[in-house]
Amino acid sequence: MQKVIFTGPESSGKTTMAKWYAEQIGGVYVPEFARIYFQSGNDNYGLKDLEEIGKGQLALLESADQFERQAVCDTGMLVIKTWAELKFGAQLEFVDSSIVQDNLALYILCKPDIPWEPDPLREDEHSRNELFEHYKILLNKYQLRYQVLAGTLEERKKFLYGLNLPD
């Protein structure tokens, strides 16, 4: 089964739309591992933490392959790659190789054209447009299939409802 992976900047609707879409298609929702990782309240993190988050996200993504239903992922390894590059100036080899291996996934790139919602795990509401462009560059660099999701909540739902996904 093909995975649908929601990606994009902070507060661009990834979680809301991934949960809704998984419910609509009867798919399996795969959560964002960073939220699980930071439940302990540690929001001060370094590259080592990012590596652990990346490994946890990768494990969740790989576990989605076992389901007979469509897997809908609330984030993927492009998010880890973006934070490694932009926050730490680092490359994580396992992240790059996992992106290449997930080339059959359909990525939904969420545009930050909705209002910022504060959240203790979010860092910078002012760089969302730059981050969005960075995601587009990465999606094109890796030649990944993607659709941009933009507009109001209702416009986004209508767009996603119209997707025809192969098994």
What are the pLDDT digits (tens) for 51-107? 999 999 989 888 887 877 889 999 999 999 999 999 899 999 889 888 888 778 899
* Average pLDDT over every residue of 124-138: 93
Give domain status of residue 101, yes or no.
yes
Give domain status of residue 13, yes or no.
yes
Give domain status of residue 150, yes or no.
yes
Give domain status of residue 166, yes or no.
no
Cα distance between residue 66 and residue 46, in whole Å: 32
* pLDDT tens per residue, range 66-75: 877 889 999 9
Are 114 and 13 contacting, i.e. CB atoms less than 8 angstroms apart?
yes
By three-state DSSP, how is residue 3 classified?
strand
- How high is the pLDDT of residue 43? 63
Give domain status of residue 98, yes or no.
yes
- How high is the pLDDT of residue 65? 77
CATH code at 50? 3.40.50.300
Domain count, the chain: 1
Give domain status of residue 31, yes or no.
yes
Regarding pTM above 0.75, the answer is: yes
Give domain status of residue 167, yes or no.
no
Name the one residue in this structure whose structure tokens are 């094109």. Answer: 140
Are 146 and 107 contacting, i.e. CB atoms less than 8 angstroms apart?
yes
pLDDT exceeds 70 at position 11: yes
Quote the domain boundaries for residue 132: 3-161
